[in-house]
Structure 1
């Protein structure tokens, strides 16, 4: 942390700024949150079937991936009664690194019975006469988890704490009828006309007689494999959480950085050389590194509806979150107040919308490089994970899985954006 309350005075505490970002820390000891974890094998919510294994297969090699993060994402003030669990997986195979689809995420969701918040996709398919029904306006989701006021030290809001019956077949219209005692006055013809084909019959006849082929069965879910068939997991850690605190006037990192990259050993000699050096600095990455350096043990950053701390603005993921307007005046360590990219006016790039209900997605959390150091503590060599940050975007409506009734658990795949380390190893792993 940026400071230790046990050895600081009240005056010292006043010199630090607390932000709306909740930081997660890996711990070998149990914490108040018995569900959230870094690494290990995934644990599914009680009374909920495991998700389809297809959600956690690498899109490059089609093998099962390994759990990076499991998080209790309950937000009772924002989504009352919703049970939310978040999972991020990554492929361990070296051949799959730096490729799209090698990191995926799913959201476990249970919405209480009688909830008025429904997936738009479910509403669209609930009846053929939907267009004639009165549509309900979407539920107001309210402010973000921590609102816009300065958070207190009260951790009660810690985000890491603990079918319709199918129609019966219609009666066959060709069923036998009682015979009449009256003899048939017309003799049968000498030749029988050809029987009508299914295509020549009226559609209603074909349906009632079940002449047409039966409808296809819904796709079956791939059962989640036993632990013995999964890749060897990363080490297991509990997760602790605390609000981010920052020194509002941290020392300038430029002289140190200049000496690090000066191969001649002469340092910076004059103002012209200093200006030339500063023009080559990737300011986005420098801000990323400076921000993490104030709380170097953090493994994740959480702020539902906030904005991620970008590793780069020039890669595809960075461009999704880059804002057209100039940053607000102030030092580079002020808290992030950027409006969600899903609602920013004139934004040319956006997080892909929710594939389940088409609602916008918002930022919820990101993993940062110190998580790699913790997860690969038992790995030999240095050729492990190569990302700078992993960003999770989720449905802003917290929609439920299609076809899942209220009170039942379901699964929805969410968006993951990975910002990779530059070739050559820019950035540290903490």
Structure 2
């Protein structure tokens, strides 16, 4: 056994340090969906399967056509992701083409966002806004009363004393009751939904936290039942979507991302420490040591594999408005994390010049604006390489495969004889697919919903 080096030991080594929770929600596969009700419930997030929409009026089937080959693509993932302060129900759909000839081509992975106006939740948002306004008004009045000079003592035998005192007590009670009203609209746990908790939909709220009257509280379970019945009654048996190729449908569960705390190391006095941004830095910084830039090592990929290695089963990373995790140092990486302008190298002895470390910052302005409303787009989620393994496993298991006719089988054999067999096999080659959506979540107000295509940036597995 090698002798212990006391210089490398510190008291902090014996501390029980807890993992650090990030703002990222990880989506994990959670077994096949066998319930017909769950398959028809749009609030059940899933991997593979056929899409389920917010309205009985299905979107055009061309939405899932590959822009490279024009053939229908398979659904990779469907995510139930309503926004907390929006009156709309919301779902995200991502399709991908598995044909070998379409890999590394634009349009072989597409993402769409669907909204539907939720009247009952909109009414709750309006009541919440009214209560917040009343609370702010009461606080403003209380602040004004506190800053006023003290009034002379009133005559205790005055006729209007009791009336005035009653009015004063009433105002104070209203202020206290309003200030104590909690916020019942915390929907942070809504991402990925869940079949076993239908009350998680926007129409539901906790009876302990709901500021509305008792009569309205008693109606909420009925509202949830109505919503579930309405969603379950939607059927797409006659839709063209049921004829599209599909993988086996799997549940998609969610868990927060946890990262181990950074190890404390001793550094020479006066040395500059450049902390890793995992779990600590919130500015999206990306630090690379300048002297390593010329080495043939992909630092982005090293960081990607290290971060993903803490939860290897993750199929999606969800962080609306967060920072994407780049897969490789390619054109997409340089676009999202542009290199800062460095000092010019001298004409002579450039090889011996010490280059300072580069600090790359995530730049959302590099993403084009929403073509509908002109608002900025933000990062919402990204698909992870394990999703390809999960989908490939469902194919091998024979789950959800489209039956081929004799003619289709003959055409596939001909393609394989011509060396084009990869077109008919599962051959997705991306490293990660990043989805950027409209920050305003724009919709068609007149129709009470929308169907919008969002931006997808793909980093391919070279």
TM-score category, normalised to shorter length:
0.5 to 0.7
Structure 1 residue aligned with 2:45: 36
Hey, what's the Cα distance between the residues in 2 that align with 1:33 and 1:54? 20
Structure 1 residue aligned with 2:247: 234
**1:405 paired to 2:446:** yes
Q: CA deviation at 1:287?
A: 0.2
Q: 1:28 to 1:12 in 2, by over 3 A?
A: farther
**1:391 paired to 2:434:** yes
Which blocks of at least 5 consecutive residues in structure 1 are unaligned?
1-10, 116-153, 163-223, 252-274, 327-336, 343-349, 423-430
**1:53 paired to 2:61:** yes
Q: CA deviation at 1:104?
A: 0.7
Q: 1:338 to 1:62 in 2, by over 3 A?
A: same
Give the secondary-structure state (helix, strand or coil) at the position aligned to 2:323: coil
Contact residue 33 and residue 240 of structure 1 kept, 8 A:
no
Q: CA deviation at 1:228?
A: 4.9
Hey, what's the Cα distance between the residues in 2 that align with 1:276 and 1:415? 33
Hey, what's the Cα distance between the residues in 2 that align with 1:409 and 1:276? 50
1:300 to 291, 295, 316: 316
Q: CA deviation at 1:314?
A: 2.0
Contact residue 318 and residue 381 of structure 2 kept, 8 A:
yes
Hey, what's the Cα distance between the residues in 2 that align with 1:386 and 1:29? 24
Map 1:167-316 → 2, pairs under 5 A: 225-231=239-245, 233-249=246-262, 279-315=295-331
Structure 2 residue aligned with 1:356: 372
Q: 1:48 to 1:383 in 2, by over 3 A?
A: closer
Instruction: Report Cα offsets for 1:303-337 as digits up to 9, x if no partner.
Output: 1011110012322x2233114459xxxxxxxxxx9
Q: 1:33 to 1:226 in 2, by over 3 A?
A: closer
Instruction: Report Cα offsets for 1:44-89 as digits up to 9, x if no partner.
Output: 12x442112222111112121110010011121xx33121110000
1:321 to 327, 333, 336: 336
Contact residue 111 and residue 400 of structure 1 kept, 8 A:
no
Give the secondary-structure state (helix, strand or coil) at the position aligned to 2:295: helix
State the TM-score, normalized to the length of structure 1: 0.55
Hey, what's the Cα distance between the residues in 1 that align with 2:190 and 2:340? 32
Contact residue 33 and residue 239 of structure 1 kept, 8 A:
no
Contact residue 32 and residue 248 of structure 2 kept, 8 A:
no
Hey, what's the Cα distance between the residues in 1 that align with 2:32 and 2:188? 20
Q: CA deviation at 1:29?
A: 6.2
Structure 2 residue aligned with 1:141: none
Give the secondary-structure state (helix, strand or coil) at the position aligned to 1:372: helix
Structure 1 residue aligned with 2:147: none
Q: CA deviation at 1:419?
A: 0.6
Give the secondary-structure state (helix, strand or coil) at the position aligned to 2:76: strand
**1:72 paired to 2:77:** no
**1:18 paired to 2:21:** yes
Give the secondary-structure state (helix, strand or coil) at the position aligned to 1:35: coil
Hey, what's the Cα distance between the residues in 1 that align with 2:362 and 2:312? 26
Structure 2 residue aligned with 1:331: none
Give the secondary-structure state (helix, strand or coil) at the position aligned to 1:22: strand
Hey, what's the Cα distance between the residues in 2 that align with 1:276 and 1:63? 44
Hey, what's the Cα distance between the residues in 2 that align with 1:99 and 1:309? 21
Contact residue 307 and residue 340 of structure 1 kept, 8 A:
no
Contact residue 337 and residue 363 of structure 2 kept, 8 A:
no
Hey, what's the Cα distance between the residues in 2 that align with 1:278 and 1:340? 24
Hey, what's the Cα distance between the residues in 1 that align with 2:322 and 2:461? 23
Q: CA deviation at 1:390?
A: 0.6
Contact residue 53 and residue 225 of structure 1 kept, 8 A:
no
Contact residue 24 and residue 317 of structure 2 kept, 8 A:
yes
Q: CA deviation at 1:112?
A: 5.2
Structure 2 residue aligned with 1:108: 114
Give the secondary-structure state (helix, strand or coil) at the position aligned to 1:356: coil
**1:91 paired to 2:97:** yes
Q: CA deviation at 1:12?
A: 8.6
Structure 1 residue aligned with 2:351: none
Higher helix share: 2
Hey, what's the Cα distance between the residues in 2 that align with 1:85 and 1:103? 17
Hey, what's the Cα distance between the residues in 2 that align with 1:155 and 1:292? 26
State the TM-score, normalized to the length of structure 2: 0.52
Structure 2 residue aligned with 1:6: none
